[in-house]
């Protein structure tokens, strides 16, 4: 490895000579002085090349944005009148003694820091992701996944890797991508649903964080064709409320970790980390629809699901009424839920399941699952699915599985809503949509 220290650690070395390495952010020539802002993954620092370091000065005049260099220099405290408290490392400056060029960069297609239209941003992700804002977004996202793993591992869950190439799909064939598979048709998984349920038979409590695929022809700010699903599945539950309570605790842990580890990123993105209530409010779909009818006059009581504007309204309501950024909506009609969903014996026709809404959008679906083999087969038949197509999965039920339930949480939607990002694609490193896999498909 190249011997260097991180830019974020520079202050500890004030008064000493160090080596650092990174990308040229900007170069400013001020007569005989050359200033360069250097950036590495940990931060930025201002460097100055004084006229008495002629060799370094000669190299510095060649440097352009995004050139990769290694620098030796002295970490100096800035004179009082040069300190910029609002700037990162605003109280120090590197007095450069030597520069080594590690990699050159061609001329950039636009100025760094320029406001770009979203398509231009997407066309140049290998470059645009280097900006402060995307870096902050994806640091937060990495922390969310880490907290998800840490929390569930501590709760006794085991992480599993679910296959992405599958035979028949649990979430309904219409939205699945077909893949040519040695003369057969396979599908890209829309969720790890069947496998996480099977694995309850082995580990009792499991989780998975992986990519899933939806061939939805939607072009909205909330839909992706490939997204990251944070899934959990737990055995020996009493009902779906055990799953909701687990999600409540999970979200509290994620937010607590973000407060500790990502305060800088939230400040940069001007976003606020929500408080997670001790108990996230919950209401049945029918109650929610009645409230909306009473308060807004819009009658959606005969609809089996929530429209985006209902989700937004209910979130505003939850904020006003319960001071909560989150609200669970439970008991959707069983006829509209997937075949594996458990019907509430005390509220026939409705599912022991829920959606979680956060800042105007659904981020989770979860439920208790049918665990009796015969009921599961009957449920498939009712939905015109062929139990033979699921015989592999059905073994788990044939040979005994405890009452269980789980949920799927959309990582990008959670990230976007947490950070006040309009379009979920901006919370996806390399988004796939109707028109784009990295480059526009029409090109």
Binding site residues, ligand AMO, CB under 6 A? 171, 191, 193, 214, 216, 223-224, 227, 229, 231, 362-367, 406-408, 410, 412-413, 424
Phi first, then psi: what are they for 209, rounded to 5°? -125, 105
- DSSP annotation of 17 reads E
Comparing CB distances to ligand AMO, the nearer of 72 and 241 is 241
- DSSP annotation of 107 reads P
Q: How far is the CB of 267 from ligand AMO (least distance, A)?
A: 26
Q: How far is the CB of 253 from ligand AMO (least distance, A)?
A: 18
Question: Residue 24 has which token pair?
Answer: 């040229």
Q: How far is the CB of 66 from ligand AMO (least distance, A)?
A: 32
Comparing CB distances to ligand AMO, the nearer of 229 and 324 is 229
Residue 247 CB-half CA count within 13 A: 33
Comparing CB distances to ligand AMO, the nearer of 25 and 171 is 171
Comparing CB distances to ligand AMO, the nearer of 41 and 429 is 429
H/E run at residue 391: helix 391-398
Comparing CB distances to ligand AMO, the nearer of 90 and 167 is 167
Q: Is there a contact between 331 and 320 (Cβ–Cβ < 8 Å)?
A: no
Burial of 35 (0-12, 13-18, 19+ CB in 10 A): middle
> Positive or negative CA dihedral for 38, 418, 139, 66?
negative
Question: Residue 41 has which token pair?
Answer: 């993954």
Q: How far is the CB of 268 from ligand AMO (least distance, A)?
A: 24
Q: How far is the CB of 369 from ligand AMO (least distance, A)?
A: 8
Cα gap 259→299, rounded to integer Å: 40
Cα gap 52→33, rounded to integer Å: 10
Phi and psi based region of residue 369 (left: phi greater than 0; alpha: psi -120 to 50; beta: remaining): beta
Comparing CB distances to ligand AMO, the nearer of 93 and 171 is 171
- DSSP annotation of 78 reads P
Comparing CB distances to ligand AMO, the nearer of 18 and 424 is 424
SS3 392: helix
Q: How far is the CB of 87 from ligand AMO (least distance, A)?
A: 37
Comparing CB distances to ligand AMO, the nearer of 23 and 339 is 339
Q: How far is the CB of 60 from ligand AMO (least distance, A)?
A: 46
What are the CA-CA distances from residue 200 to residues 68, 167, 205 (Å)?
49, 20, 6
Q: How far is the CB of 411 from ligand AMO (least distance, A)?
A: 8
Q: How far is the CB of 218 from ligand AMO (least distance, A)?
A: 7
Comparing CB distances to ligand AMO, the nearer of 231 and 325 is 231
- The sheet carrying 178-181 orders its strands as 165-166, 184-188, 178-181
Q: How far is the CB of 75 from ligand AMO (least distance, A)?
A: 45
Question: Residues 6 or more apart from 374 whose CB is under 8 A from it?
Answer: none
What are the CA-CA distances from residue 226 to residues 188, 229, 273 (Å)?
10, 9, 26
Q: How far is the CB of 356 from ligand AMO (least distance, A)?
A: 7
Pairing of strands 439-440, 68-77: unpaired
Buried b (16+ CB within 10 A) or exposed e, 353-362: bbbbbbbbbb
Phi first, then psi: what are they for 381, rounded to 5°? -60, -40
Nearest residue relative to ligand AMO (C-beta): 410
Comparing CB distances to ligand AMO, the nearer of 75 and 315 is 315
Pairing of strands 158-159, 282-284: unpaired
Comparing CB distances to ligand AMO, the nearer of 56 and 280 is 280
């Amino acid at each position: 490895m190249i011997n260097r220290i991180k830019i974020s650690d520079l202050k500890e070395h004030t008064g000493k000579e160090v080596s650092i390495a990174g990308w040229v952010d900007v170069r400013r020539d001020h007569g005989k002085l050359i200033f360069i802002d250097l950036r590495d993954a940990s931060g930025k620092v201002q460097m100055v090349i004084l006229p008495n370091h002629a060799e370094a000065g000669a190299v510095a005049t060649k440097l352009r944005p995004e050139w990769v260099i290694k620098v030796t220099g002295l970490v100096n405290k800035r004179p009082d009148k040069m300190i910029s408290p609002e700037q990162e490392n605003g109280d120090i400056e590197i007095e450069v003694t030597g520069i080594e060029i590690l990699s050159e960069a061609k001329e950039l297609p636009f100025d760094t820091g320029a406001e770009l239209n979203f398509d231009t941003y997407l066309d140049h992700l290998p470059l645009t992701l280097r900006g402060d804002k995307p870096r902050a977004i994806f640091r937060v996202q990495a922390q969310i996944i880490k907290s998800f793993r840490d929390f569930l591992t501590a709760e006794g869950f085991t992480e599993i890797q679910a296959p992405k190439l599958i035979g028949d799909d649990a979430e309904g064939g219409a939205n699945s991508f077909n893949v040519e598979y040695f003369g057969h048709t396979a599908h890209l998984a829309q969720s790890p649903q069947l496998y996480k349920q099977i694995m309850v038979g082995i580990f009792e409590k499991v989780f998975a964080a992986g990519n899933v695929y939806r061939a939805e022809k939607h072009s909205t700010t909330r839909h992706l064709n490939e997204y990251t699903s944070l899934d959990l599945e737990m055995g020996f539950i009493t009902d779906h409320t055990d799953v909701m309570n687990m999600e409540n605790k999970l979200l509290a842990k994620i937010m607590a970790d973000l407060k500790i580890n990502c305060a800088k990123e939230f400040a940069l993105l001007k976003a606020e980390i929500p408080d997670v209530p001790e108990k996230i409010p919950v209401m049945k779909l029918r109650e929610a629809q009645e409230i909306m009818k009473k308060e807004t006059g819009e009658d959606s009581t005969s609809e089996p699901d929530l429209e985006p504007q209902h989700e937004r309204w209910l979130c505003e309501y939850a904020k006003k009424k319960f001071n909560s950024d989150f609200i669970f909506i439970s008991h959707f009609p069983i006829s509209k839920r997937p075949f594996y969903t458990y019907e509430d014996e005390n509220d026939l026709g409705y599912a022991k399941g829920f959606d979680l809404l956060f800042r105007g959008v659904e981020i989770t679906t979860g439920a208790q699952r049918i665990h009796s083999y015969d009921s599961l087969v009957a449920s498939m038949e009712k939905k015109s699915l062929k139990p033979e197509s699921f015989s592999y999965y059905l073994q788990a039920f044939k040979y005994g599985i405890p009452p269980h339930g789980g949920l799927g949480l959309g990582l990008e939607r959670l990230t976007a809503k947490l950070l006040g990002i309009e379009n979920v694609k901006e919370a996806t490193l390399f988004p796939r949509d109707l028109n784009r896999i990295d480059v526009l498909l029409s090109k």
